[in-house]
Structure 1
Amino acid sequence: MPASDYQDDLALLTEAAKAAGEIALGYWKRGPEAWDKGGGAGPVSEADLAVNAMLERDLRAARPDYGWLSEESADSTERLAAKRVFIVDPIDGTRAFLAHDGGFAHALAMVEDGRAVAGVVHLPALELTYAAALGGPALLNGEPISPSTAQHVEGSTVLTSKLSDDPGHWRRGVPRYRRSLRPSLAWRLCLVAEGRYDATISLRPAWEWDIAAASLIAECAGAMATDRNGSPLRFNRPNAQSNGLVVAAPRLHADYIAQLRHWPE
């Protein structure tokens, strides 16, 4: 597909993400009905479902030949045969959303032949919109962004969970990094893309809807985004998960991969 068509899809995703934000803010801090999905999948709310319904309706109407994968839609193997697929998290960070924390995001990607080629991560409560299309720059509210220049794991700032402090994940023991966390995984990748943090890692499987859009934004900014073993990320897989995640500028990324133990899928 020509790069201009990726820009067309990016414009479509951006418009949809901002419409999603308007719906979400209509529920935010107003006590929306919520329940646990069970099986360790976490909470879902009526806001998640309202956003998902709008996105599925509008995006699929605009691109009827594209496949569909969303955290809040029943999955279908039909998407596996599609050349192009929308991969969507209607609200990434539902716990934060329900706790009146503005760090929730709408993450929307278009994937072509397994590769993310257009993506938007929109945080409506914080008025932040990250966007990128393959071959173009990564933008935050229309301005180009780039990752930090950190080169070594020691002393780097990393967005990750306490799981990363388990020595079993490291070849030479847990490095002396500075660990923080944000509720939305998509936002964590974008914070690395704009250089506010040096890296983000996930040492457990990462759902595609959490990382497809943001991994493209990070790559277009100049960072590398791979699984925990350093293998390229591929999307629209049958299990819709990656084998963990490492995102950082190239030299720092290489140092993380060298220090992490490889983990079989």
Structure 2
Amino acid sequence: MSGETDAALARRVAETAGELLLVLQLSGLFEGKALGKAGDRTANAFIMEALRHARPDDAILSEEEKDGAERLAASRVWIVDPLDGTREYGEGRSDWAVHVALAIDGVPVAGAVALPGVPMTLCTGTCPQAPEAAETLRMLVSRTRPAAEAVSVADALGAELVPMGSAGAKAMAVVRGEADIYLHTGGQYEWDSCAPVAVAVAAGLHVSRVDGSPMAYNAADPYLPDLLICRPELAERILGLTQV
């Protein structure tokens, strides 16, 4: 392995992939779904090559690669989403992200979420502590299909709904203090949440499944259906509502 820390590598790879995606977006060669498809392929090819070069002994789980059982025997597994929010990216919006994370024995220990459209990258190695919750709570939901459970919890809390695109953009909005709660029950995969979870934990936020159990990665089935990221002081109250 190179002398670069895992967190620094995650940041550099995520940021570079984001830069490539911006160049592609601004090229005018593609638009809409075709742009999203080209972005997925371009970012994935770069990330896979970069990680294989820098960490040749580690396994990789990517949304855009065929999964293999060999990663299950690996302690160190990079879990990546080359373009989280393909729809938003193809529409020229800013709420999309690049996720690069390392899980060791199933625990996300290093990660970076690049938000090229902002632009900003949040990383476990240099992540500031998230600010305190606002007086009026703000809950992030999907801008196209808000989950009924999240809407119900928001109503019980008197929280304002904040529609947003990708999972990474939502999670980082809580880290950045732009929202207080990200509650997702609509179905996700490990690559959707691994990097955001690593960064959120580093920022001192509460992170768990909606039943309060910890997030675990590198499972045989990468489906992880739900997620809660919020200020620690809100967790007990929210979990009480999700487990009714």
TM-score (norm 1): 0.82
Q: Aligned equivalents of 2:183 and 2:140: distance in 1?
A: 7
Instruction: For residue 150 of structure 1, report the CA deviation from its aligned partner.
Output: 5.3
Q: Aligned equivalents of 2:107 and 2:230: distance in 1?
A: 19
Are 2:14 and 1:17 aligned? yes
Partner of 2:237: 255
Q: Aligned equivalents of 1:163 and 1:48: distance in 2?
A: 24
What are the superposed Cα offsets for residues 160-196 of structure 1, whole Å, 9 maximum, x if unpaired? 23544459966x9754321112211012111111222
Instruction: For residue 34 of structure 1, report the CA deviation from its aligned partner.
Output: 6.5
Give the alignment partner of residue 232 of structure 1, picking from 214, 218, 223.
Answer: 214
Q: Aligned equivalents of 1:168 and 1:250: distance in 2?
A: 20
**Contact preservation (8 Å) 2:72, 2:218:** yes
Partner of 1:131: 123
Letter in 2 for 1:55: I
Letter in 2 for 1:186: G
**Contact preservation (8 Å) 2:187, 2:226:** yes
Helix, strand or coil at the partner of 1:206? coil
Instruction: For residue 149 of structure 1, report the CA deviation from its aligned partner.
Output: 3.3
Letter in 2 for 1:93: G
Q: Aligned equivalents of 1:31 and 1:101: distance in 2?
A: 17
Partner of 2:41: 49
Letter in 2 for 1:158: M
**Contact preservation (8 Å) 1:147, 1:248:** no
Give the percent of matched residue pairs that are identical in Structure 1 and Structure 2.
30
Partner of 2:105: 113
Are 2:30 and 1:32 aligned? yes
Larger helix fraction of residues? 2
Letter in 2 for 1:97: Y
Mean CA deviation greater in 175-184 or 64-73: 175-184
Partner of 1:221: 203
Runs (4 or more) in structure 1 with deviation over 3 Å come to: 33-36, 161-170, 172-175
How do 1:110-259 residues align onto structure 2 when only pairs under 5 Å count? 110-133=102-125, 138=127, 144-149=128-133, 155-161=136-142, 163-166=146-149, 174-259=156-241
TM-score (norm 2): 0.89
**Contact preservation (8 Å) 1:223, 1:247:** yes
Q: Aligned equivalents of 1:230 and 1:178: distance in 2?
A: 23
Shift in CA distance, 167/46, structure 1 to aligned 2, threshold 3 Å: closer
**Contact preservation (8 Å) 1:202, 1:245:** yes
Q: Aligned equivalents of 2:103 and 2:29: distance in 1?
A: 34
Gaps of 5+ in 1: 37-42, 139-143
Gaps of 5+ in 2: none
**Contact preservation (8 Å) 2:96, 2:168:** no
Instruction: For residue 119 of structure 1, report the CA deviation from its aligned partner.
Output: 0.6
